[in-house]
Amino acid sequence: MTLSKNGTITVLKPGPFTSIQDAGRYGYAEFGVPSSGFMDASTAGIANLLLGNHADAPCLEIFGGGVRLLVDTTCLMVAAGADGELGTSNRRFRTHQRFQLDAGDVLDIYPFRAGQWMYLALFGDFSVPTRFGSKSFYYPITPQSKLKSGDVLNFSCRTFAHSSSNSQLKPHNWSAKQEVEVYPGPELQILTESSQQALFQRPFTVSSTQNRMGIQLVERLENSLPEIYSSPVFPGTVQLTPSGTMIVLMRDAQVTGGYPRILQLTETSISLLAQKRPGETVTFSLLPSLQGS
């Protein structure tokens, strides 16, 4: 039997960008609604599974750390993703392991040592409104894009801990991996031979120009391509701008774009790239073509 209790999390320090995210909002792109959802879906899924939640369940998504939360009810949680410390005044918790908070506990999530995004999964449900099939924060589909100091999140928490068969799940190793797997984009083949070679031969540096919509890369590619007529784009689409700068579209990206779409990251690679900090480098590894005929 699982008991359910209602509780609240009060945001004492929101950090630079903390929001509720789930697997995203699908089916409304034709009205211009971005999918949103976890920046690092691989990690968020693991956090959820370690608790016995569905992998897609909403989590607190924390960028950078520096977050302080007050809970008023006993609840079970798992933190996963970025490498960082977390704990209460008298206890320390490790990522990827279940921990229990008690009523009145203040949880501190300290600035991360490595990685960018941490997921705090809750054994239960966040009671935030579902808009177009998802609880993911995205303004203006939801009233706010991120949490601010003083915000109160309601949740219902299941209290009966069961032994999870998922407890052996290993976090994906984003810190060691540099290779980002990509499919060719629709406009890749119109790039010059030398630009295509450069694309797959050299590393590219993640820039600090980034947010939930997209990540700009530092090194430019020689580009003589014209803009294209606005065409569908997705999270993971790599757009080549007229200046030769590449932008990797992320979860909150708009649904169409007018820049040539030269590559498409796999889902796993979107998660990997999300965790790379400005200054870290990645290389593109081209997957075999999916075009059958």
Partner 1 sequence: MKQEWRLFWINAYVLEISWEAGISQHTLLKMIAVKSSLEKGLGADLYDVRMGYHALAVHFRQPAGNRDWNKIIQELMENAQSDFPQSRKRWRIPVCYAPEVAKDLISIANLKGMTVEELVQEHSSAEYMLYFYGFLPGFMYLGGLSERLHVPRKAIPDPQIPSGSVAIGGMQTGIYPMNSPGGWHVIGKIPFSLFDPQTGRLPVFRSGDSICFMPIKKREFDIIVHDPVYSLTYDII
Shortest Å, Cβ 266 to partner 1: 7
Shortest Å, Cβ 192 to partner 1: 19
Is 186 a binding residue for partner 1 by CB under 8 A? The answer is yes
The one segment of 43-51, 52-60, 80-88, 224-232 that binds partner 1 by CB under 8 A: 224-232
The dihedrals phi and psi of 145, each to the nearest 5 degrees, come to -95, -25
Handedness of CA 189, 191, 192, 193 (dihedral sign): negative
What is the H or E stretch that residue 231 is in?
strand 231-232
Is 143 a binding residue for partner 1 by CB under 8 A? The answer is yes
Is 291 a binding residue for partner 1 by CB under 8 A? The answer is yes
d(CA 274, CA 247): 13
Is 34 a binding residue for partner 1 by CB under 8 A? The answer is yes
Nearer to partner 1 by Cβ, of 104 and 232: the residue is 232
d(CA 77, CA 153): 15
Please select the residue that binds partner 1; options are 1, 3, 90, 140, rule is CB under 8 A: 140
Is 288 a binding residue for partner 1 by CB under 8 A? The answer is no
Number of residues that bind partner 1 (CB under 8 A): 36
Residue 97 Cα distances to 18, 49, 121, 257, 263, angstroms: 21, 11, 11, 41, 36
d(CA 204, CA 229): 27
d(CA 264, CA 181): 8
Residue 244 Cα distances to 155, 268, 286, 288, angstroms: 46, 25, 20, 25
Nearest to 210 by CA among 282, 148, 260, 150: 282
How many Å separate Cα 191 from the centre of its chain? 30
Please select the residue that binds partner 1; options are 166, 255, 280, 286, rule is CB under 8 A: 255
The one segment of 31-39, 153-161, 170-178, 272-280 that binds partner 1 by CB under 8 A: 31-39
Please select the residue that binds partner 1; options are 132, 171, 213, 280, rule is CB under 8 A: 132
The one segment of 55-63, 76-84, 198-206, 253-261 that binds partner 1 by CB under 8 A: 253-261
Please list every residue from 229 through 248 that binds partner 1, using CB under 8 A. 229-232, 234, 236-237
> What is the binding site for partner 1 (CB under 8 A)?
26-34, 131-132, 140-143, 183, 185-186, 228-232, 234, 236-237, 254-256, 264, 266-267, 290-293
